[in-house]
Chain A
Amino acid sequence: MGRFFVSQAVLLCLAALLTSCGQSEDNQTVDTVSEEENSTSMFAMNTYVTVTAYGNDTEAALSSAEEKIRSLESLWSVTDENSEIYAVNHSGGNPVEVSDETAQLLDFSLQMNERTNGAFDISLYPVLTAWGFTTEEYRVPDDDEITQLLERTGVEKISLDGQTVHVPDDMQIDLGAIGKGYAGDLVAEDLKQNGVKSALIDLGGNIQTVGTKPGGESWSIGIRNPFGEGNFGVLEIGECAVVTSGGYERYFVEDGNTYWHILDPETGKPAQSGIISVLVIGAEGRLCDALSTSLFVMGLDRAANLWRNSDDFEMIIVTSDGGIYITEGIEDDFTLSKNFSQPEVSVIRR
């Protein structure tokens, strides 16, 4: 009887232990079951896209999002012969009727050109091609070639009347520096229309969120270290878009010089503004995308001035000498990574 009692007691203890161990896992599953996580990934718009939605029955919303991305890609691809941008670029100077989405994106692109004093320019495609950034057959064009090519650029020569676009015969446009941002806006809208309350859209590092994380927590977004591997910091965000531009994204090295894909529309050469990466955060993906490229071109001082005259974005700029500059609106949301060598962060104030 004694033996039975002891073994019984020991077994009871074991059972208690095992259930408590299992329970801590169960609790976690309960949390995730009530906010189920579903995601879909694909190669689209020249990048790797992942859309993650939280909540029950998000499968239909995700396939709708996927369809949306595919359809936008087919409108805006420069190389797809059936795309609207291809039609505009091969119009022989004749007016082309485009979809509402494309017209709105073009209209926004023209506005951004004005707002950035020309730093944002969708007409640089012929120059980008000469550098090989569109074909990956990299070369350094000489000054004469660049001067000639720059004559074939200029957003002021593009006209848009409703949904009718007119691009002169020798010019070509490319929405690569804004299309993913606008796609983020439209996909976020689409997810919301399909009842999704919490989602994260990652278009090759262009981040756009819907709502907060399940339970009201903020999203934590790592920021890529432009000098090497890993992240240099983390940004806590709610519903918004985050887009970065950096010299590290696409570049080639020739004769010891590094040439990156962000061109200065004035010189037709890789922008040498002293900036190595820019992060822009705001409500609209299209704005963040356009600004990240143009602030990179403008340099720290002009970027800070543009920010002081605006109220629709915040930014983090890393300069090539390792300086980190952050605007005051997101000062409290940013945490510098411990293993990043530069400990000083300067806050840009109004």
Chain B
Amino acid sequence: MKNAKLWIIVAAVIFIAAIVWCVIIITKPPGEIVTISQDGETLYTLDLSEESDRTITVEYEGRENVIEIKDGRIHMLEADCPDHTCINTGWLEDLPIVCLPNKLVIEFADESGADAVAR
């Protein structure tokens, strides 16, 4: 019977682990996966919930964009573009951050919230 108890304990541990795993999978908020692409080509795929704070520099025809990840959020920190629309967009939310002159796009891989943003 000792073995049976052991079995139950082992199973209970697996059982709880499985529940925790299920809960994590189900409740993991969508919209944490971000892609950075340039002219249609994906340069980076990042999971914001796992990224540590850092900056990424992307070049396009000699011009630079500096993307910053901080506290699980992402935005355009600096850009060599004339309009700075990408910087002014702020932190990534529903609408993609687009740097038109440098053909750079930062967006969530799995859309969250609204289907689109009128802007």
Contact = CB atoms under 8 A, between A and B. Distances in A.
B114 A221 contact: yes
Contacts of B83: 136, 250
Interface string B17-30: 01101100110000
A60 interface: no
A349 interface: no
A2 B1 contact: yes
A318 interface: no
Given A48-B100, A48-B105, A229 B91 contact: yes
Contacts of A340: none
Interface string A1-22: 0110011001101100110010
Given A2-B4, A3-B7, A17 B116 contact: no
Interface residues of A, number: 48
Nearest to A21: B22
B119 A246 contact: yes
Nearest to A25: B25
A43 B99 CA distance: 10
Contacts of B31: none
A230 interface: yes
A41 interface: yes
A3 B91 CA distance: 57
Interface string B96-117: 1010100101000000011111
B119 to A, nearest CB: 4
A18 B14 CA distance: 11
Contacts, number: 114
A176 to B, nearest CB: 13
A347 interface: no
Given A223-B117, A224-B117, A229-B93, A11 B18 contact: no
B52 to A, nearest CB: 23
User: Chain A CB within 10 Å — which of B15, B22, B115 has the most?
Assistant: B115
A307 interface: no
Interface string A235-265: 1000000111010111000000000000000
Given A43-B100, A48-B98, A48-B105, A205 B118 contact: yes
Interface in B65-81: none
A223 to B, nearest CB: 5
B5 to A, nearest CB: 9
Interface in A36-55: 41-43, 46-48
Interface in A48-101: 48
B4 A14 contact: no
Contacts of A6: 4, 7-8
A222 interface: yes
Given A21-B22, A42-B40, A43-B103, A14 B114 contact: no
Interface of A: 2-3, 6-7, 10-11, 13-14, 17-18, 21, 24-25, 41-43, 46-48, 136-137, 200, 202, 204-207, 213, 219-224, 228-231, 234-235, 242-244, 246, 248-250, 279
29 contacts: A6-B4, A6-B7, A10-B7, A13-B11, A14-B15, A17-B22, A21-B21, A21-B22, A21-B25, A43-B40, A43-B100, A43-B103, A48-B96, A207-B116, A207-B118, A213-B115, A219-B115, A220-B113, A221-B117, A222-B118, A224-B118, A228-B90, A229-B89, A230-B90, A231-B114, A244-B118, A248-B88, A250-B85, A279-B118
Q: Which 8 A-B pairs have the closest CB atoms?
A: A205-B119, A10-B11, A222-B114, A229-B90, A224-B119, A136-B82, A21-B22, A222-B117
